[in-house]
Structure formats: C-alpha cells, structure tokens
Amino acid sequence: MIIIMLGAQGTGKGTVAGLISENMGWPQISTGDIFRKNISEKTTLGIEADKYISKGELVPDEITVPMVEDRLKWEDAQNGAILDGFPRTIEQAEKLDEILKKSNKKIDLVINLVTPKEEIIDRMLTRRVCTNQDCKATYNIKLHPPVKEGICDKCGATLKQREDDSDSEAIKKRLEIYEEKTSPLVKYYEKQGVLQTETVSVSINRMGRDVAEDVVKKIKSK
C-alpha cells in the first residue's frame, strides 16, 4: 500500500507518517530527512539541495525524483511505503504515477492535513527534532515537550531546532510556496478518488496522533 502525506509544513505530516509506519511496518520515506542527512554529511547532493532549502525554496526535480525512485526499490518498501514531503507539485505527482506503474503499483491513500496558518507558524517555531538520524523523533516544547528538556525521550540524543524553523518570515515564505505549488495536488488526488482530508488543530482537540490511529484502524479492518 502506498500512502502520501499532504499538508503544509507544520501540520504534523511527519508525526502521522511515523505512527502509521510503526504500526504497519512500512518505511516512512521523507525527502526532507534524506536532504538533511546529506547536508549534515556535506555530500554532493546535500550541498546542491542546501542551496535551495536554505532559501526556503523547493529542491529541483532532477535532484529529488531519482532519489525517490531509488528509495522505493528498497526491499523494505515492497509491501508498502509512506511518502512524506513528496510529491510537492503536479509534475512530481505525474512522475510518481509513472514510477509506480513500472512495478504495477499505484497511490492507495492520500492524507491531506489542514491546520490554521498562525498555529502552523507557532508550531514550527517551537518544534524540536532528534539529532539521531536513526530516531528522528519530533517534539514541540509547548504541545509535546520531552520529559527532559533538550533530550529525546526515545534514544537520549540531543534535540535541536531546524535552521529553517527558526525564522518566522522564512516560514511564511515556505507556506506561500506550498499554497502556490503544492495545494493543487489536493484536486489532483481528489479526482483520483484517494484523498482523505483531516483538520489537525488544538482548537478542535484533534492532533496528528488521533488521525494516525483512525487511519491504522481503517487499514487493518480491510
């Protein structure tokens, strides 16, 4: 089963994808995680990707698409995968359809998360991530703080704030790019009949964990 996570930055895509991954045993494939790993290791890919990410811009398809295609060929992704952060544009979605068609697969479910803009900005400014690339746990110092400040509950590694989460103006630019480039995907997948839109907000007391639990129940009941 191939699942895609849609939604602006800070809506909780990583949280939902991670919980589904834990329950179903399917890998969470995040282009953002792969980019950050390469940037920290100063690989050729990382250096090129950082030129765009540091400006709040999308990484070009010629860098992103081949990387995703290769990752979907790994053994752990043969029974299912959760794509978090890809596709971001209609062009990427069409290329993904072509990639999956080669192995007789298709998109089975697209989870679209919606959160008020001001709440998104606040979440991203207060988001902290585990520095251990094998863990990648995410926390929020307001909504979901670690037991010990600055330390990951799961593995004990140090938590940090992502560079692209520290500037409210950069965050607003990323949200503008999302609206322009990525939100049309909602209509694209709605036409395919695989879209499931979920509102995630403290105002209605429904968070990513609630969405993930509902999705897992639905998948297991089939």
Residue of 36, 71, 128, 174 marked active site:
174
The sign of the torsion formed by the CA atoms of 68, 69, 70, 74 equals positive
C-alpha to C-alpha distance for 126 and 124, rounded to whole angstroms = 5
Q: At what angle do helices 168-177 and 117-125 cross, to 10 degrees?
A: 130
> Is residue 13 among the annotated active site residues?
yes
DSSP letter for each residue of 63-92: HHHHHHHHHTTSGGGSS-EEEES---SHHH
- 95 phi-psi bin (left φ>0, alpha ψ -120 to 50, beta other): alpha
> Is residue 209 among the annotated active site residues?
no
C-alpha to C-alpha distance for 117 and 25, rounded to whole angstroms = 32
**Pair 61, 95: CB distance under 8 Å:** yes
C-alpha to C-alpha distance for 152 and 155, rounded to whole angstroms = 6
Residue of 105, 162, 173, 209 marked active site:
162
Residue 109 Cα to chain centre, angstroms: 15
Residue of 13, 71, 123, 128 marked active site:
13
Residue of 36, 95, 123, 127 marked active site:
127
Q: Find tokens 């209605």 and name the residue.
A: 204
> Is residue 127 among the annotated active site residues?
yes
Amino acid sitting at position 144: H
- 156 phi-psi bin (left φ>0, alpha ψ -120 to 50, beta other): left
Residue of 36, 88, 95, 128 marked active site:
88
Q: Active-site residue numbers?
A: 13, 88, 127, 162, 174
